[in-house]
Structure 1
Amino acid sequence: MDYCRHELSNCADCAPPVRPRRAVPGAEWDGWPPSAIIVHESGKAHLPGCTHIVPADVEPPVYGWVLDPVPGAWRRLSDSSPLRATGGNTKRAAVSRCQTCDATQ
C-alpha cells in the first residue's frame, strides 16, 4: 500500500493533480479522481466512494465539486475556511467534512 507524507493511504490532500473534466461526472465512482471533494448543498464535503451519497445523484444544482483541490484543502474545511466548488454548482461551498469520509483519511 502506498502512503503519503501524512502516512495515510489515499489521502485527499496528497493525491496527484488531475485534469478537470469537461462534462458532469458519470454514474460510477471510478470516474472520480481520489483527491476530488464533493460539496453538498448543506455545506458538507464528501469524498468519492462515500456511502452517504449515490454517484448518479452528484449533479447540479444539489452538488458542486472540486476535482483538483489544493493540498490541505480537506483538513482546512471550516466556517472560516470554506471550499468553493469549481465544478457542478459553483455556488456551493463546503464548511464541514463528512465524518465517515474523514475517518478514511
Structure 2
Amino acid sequence: MERCDFCELPIGGGCACSLGTDGGPTRTRGTGSVSAGSVFPTGAILVSPRGVAHRPGCLHQNDNEVTAPLWGWIPEPDPQLWRRISQGAPAQATHGNTKRVATRRCQSCDV
C-alpha cells in the first residue's frame, strides 16, 4: 500500500494530507505535489522566524511569502526529520536564512 510522504499513513486509508480546503493550496493525492504555485518541493520543511516548522501548503502560511532573510527552509530533509523536530532535536535550516532553527511543529501541518 502506498504511504504518504508527510504523515506516513496509507493514502486513502487514514492520510488526510491530500484533502484540500477552499481557496488554499492542496496536496494532490498520490503524487504528493503541492499546487497553487508553491515554490518548495513537497517534502520541504519551512522554518519560521519563531522557530516553528511548517510544510508547503500550510493553511495559515503563504508559500510565496516564505523568503530569506526572514525564513529558512530544508528542501529535501530526511523523511523522518519532521517527526523528530523538538526542543531536544532541533532542525537547522539549510537554505534561505540558515540561522533559523525549528524546535516545534506547526499544529495545522502536523496532521
TM-score range, shorter chain: 0.7 to 0.9
- The answer for the alignment partner of 1:28 in structure 2 is 37
**Higher share in helix:** 1
Residue type of the alignment partner of 1:77: I
Q: Given the two structures, how large is their TM-score scaled by the length of structure 1?
A: 0.73
Q: Distance in 2 between matches of 1:32 and 1:8?
A: 23
Which runs of 5 or more residues in structure 2 are unaligned? 12-16, 18-35
Greater gyration radius: 2
Greater relative contact order (CA < 8 Å, ≥ 6 in sequence)? 1
- The answer for the alignment partner of 1:20 in structure 2 is none
Runs of 4+ in 1 over 2 A off after TM superposition: 4-10
Which runs of 5 or more residues in structure 1 are unaligned? 11-26
Q: Distance in 2 between matches of 1:34 and 1:53?
A: 15
Q: Distance in 2 between matches of 1:2 and 1:46?
A: 23
Q: Given the two structures, how large is their TM-score scaled by the length of structure 2?
A: 0.69
Q: Distance in 2 between matches of 1:76 and 1:100?
A: 17
Identity of aligned residues (%): 44
